[in-house]
Structure 1
Amino acid sequence: MNYKVIYNEEKLKEFISWLPDLLPNEQYYVQLLARKKYNPETGLKSDKAQLKRFTATKERLFHKISQLELPFGRYESGNVDVSQDNLALYITPNPRDLHKASLLLMREISDKLIRNDNAINPHTLSLNIIQTTTSRKIFFDLDIDFKTENHQIAIDKFRKDVEDCLNKDCLSLIKTNGGLHCLIKLEDIKKEYQKSWYQKVSQLGCNEYEVTMNGDNVLPVPGSVQGIDFSPYFLD
């Protein structure tokens, strides 16, 4: 038996198709985490234990995600076996710039060599730098946490509120395990909202939901697993 990372193959492929096409210097950054909050009884010490991370082109993304489905017991954190129920897959919807990251990596390694730092790990350094090196800021990401058990009420309220701040066709809503991500496609914001949207969105929040303005955030991957028997998906 293997871990299941791909929950719905069709939805995953639809999401990958939806992602922006990449330039030659760009790739997507992906990480598989073990989240304690989805199954606390497994004994994980950290809520966000990183199991695997990689970069991929859009064309190779599905294949590389499928390679994460290893036999049970291959993933562990702090000598604790990771349960299927703890898995969650994330991606940076804004592409990462490998050219710029390479230049930053050269500088970082040079600085460490000058300081006689013998604990250099180029692989770890490179992925750390790639993770934080955005190429193009295509999307601004809002992370919405629900404050009510009735998720539909929170979704309807947020949708109404955010559509008062922005034109509807620049918004993509993704339902996640316990919340929502709202991706704002910056180039599609209409002229009449361009100067006012950020201030208005930053003031969103009510008894039903709260908003975190993450901007360039990691996103739970639609069509993949996110905790116990749940997979993120686009809302119509």
Structure 2
Amino acid sequence: MNYKIIYNEEKLKEFINWLPELLPNEQYYVQLLARKKYNKETGLKSDKAQLKRFISTKEMLFHKISQLELPTGRYESGNTEVSQDNLALYITPNPRDLHKASLLMMREISDKLIRNDKAINPHTLSLNIIQTSASRKIFFDLDIDFKTENHQAAIERFKKDMENCINSDCLTFIKTNGGLHCLIKTDDIKKEYHKNWYQNVSQLTCEDYEVTMNSDNVLPVPGGIQGISFSPYFL
């Protein structure tokens, strides 16, 4: 029996197709985490234990995600076997810039060698730098946490409030486990909203939801796993 990472193949392929086409210097950054909050009874000590991470072209993304489906028990955090219930798959919807990351890595490795750092790990270092080397900021990500059990009411209220801040055709909504992500495609923001949209959105708050502003954020993958029997999906 294997871990189930692809929860809904059709929705995952739909999401991959929706992602922007990449330039030659770009790839997507993906990570599989074990999240304690999704099942606290499994004995994990950390809420965000990193199990696997990789970069990928758009064309290879589905194939590489499918390779994460190892036999059950192969993923461990510390000395604890990771349960299926704790798995969550994330991606950076804004592409990573490998050219910029390469330049930064050259400098970082040179500095470590000059300091005679014997613990240098080029593989880990490269992925750390790639993770933080955003290329084009295609999307601005809003992470919405619900304050009410009535998620549908919170979603509808947030959507309505957003209508007063920005044009709706630049927005993509993704339902996640316990919340919502709203991706703003910045190139599609209409001229009349350019000046005030950020300030207006940052002031959104009510008893139903709370908004966290992230210009460049990781996103739970639609069609992938996120906790117990849940997979994010487009609204």
Could you tell me the TM-score, scaled by structure 1's length? 0.99
In the alignment, residue 184 of structure 2 is paired with which amino acid? I
**Within 5 Å, which residues of 2 pair with 1:33-44?**
33-44=33-44
Q: In 2, distance between residues paired with 1:75 and 1:106?
A: 32
Give the match for residue 71 of structure 1: 71
Q: Gapped runs of 5+ residues in structure 1?
A: none
Give the match for residue 4 of structure 1: 4
Runs of 4 or more, structure 1, over 3 Å off, are none
Displacement after TM superposition at 1:162 (Å): 1.0
In the alignment, residue 144 of structure 1 is paired with which amino acid? I
Q: In 2, distance between residues paired with 1:83 and 1:111?
A: 40
Q: In 2, distance between residues paired with 1:79 and 1:188?
A: 47
Identity between Structure 1 and Structure 2 (%): 85
Q: In 2, distance between residues paired with 1:69 and 1:164?
A: 43
Give the match for residue 104 of structure 1: 104
In the alignment, residue 35 of structure 2 is paired with which amino acid? R
SS in 1 for 2:127: helix
Task: Note if 1:81 corresponds to 2:81.
Answer: yes
Give the match for residue 230 of structure 1: 230
In the alignment, residue 191 of structure 2 is paired with which amino acid? K
In the alignment, residue 206 of structure 1 is paired with which amino acid? C
In the alignment, residue 141 of structure 1 is paired with which amino acid? D
CA RMSD of aligned residues (A): 0.4
Displacement after TM superposition at 1:163 (Å): 1.6
Q: In 2, distance between residues paired with 1:183 and 1:23?
A: 20
Displacement after TM superposition at 1:104 (Å): 0.2
Q: In 2, distance between residues paired with 1:102 and 1:163?
A: 41
Give the match for residue 213 of structure 2: 213
Q: Gapped runs of 5+ residues in structure 2?
A: none
Structure 1 residues 178-219: Cα deviation after superposition (integer angstroms, max 9, x where no partner)? 000000000000000011100000001110000000110000
SS in 1 for 2:12: helix
Q: In 2, distance between residues paired with 1:201 and 1:162?
A: 7
Give the match for residue 124 of structure 2: 124
**Within 5 Å, which residues of 2 pair with 1:116-195?**
116-195=116-195
Give the match for residue 20 of structure 1: 20
Give the match for residue 92 of structure 1: 92
In the alignment, residue 87 of structure 1 is paired with which amino acid? L
Q: In 1, distance between residues paired with 2:166 and 2:61?
A: 31
Displacement after TM superposition at 1:220 (Å): 0.1
SS in 2 for 1:153: helix
SS in 2 for 1:53: strand
Displacement after TM superposition at 1:42 (Å): 0.3
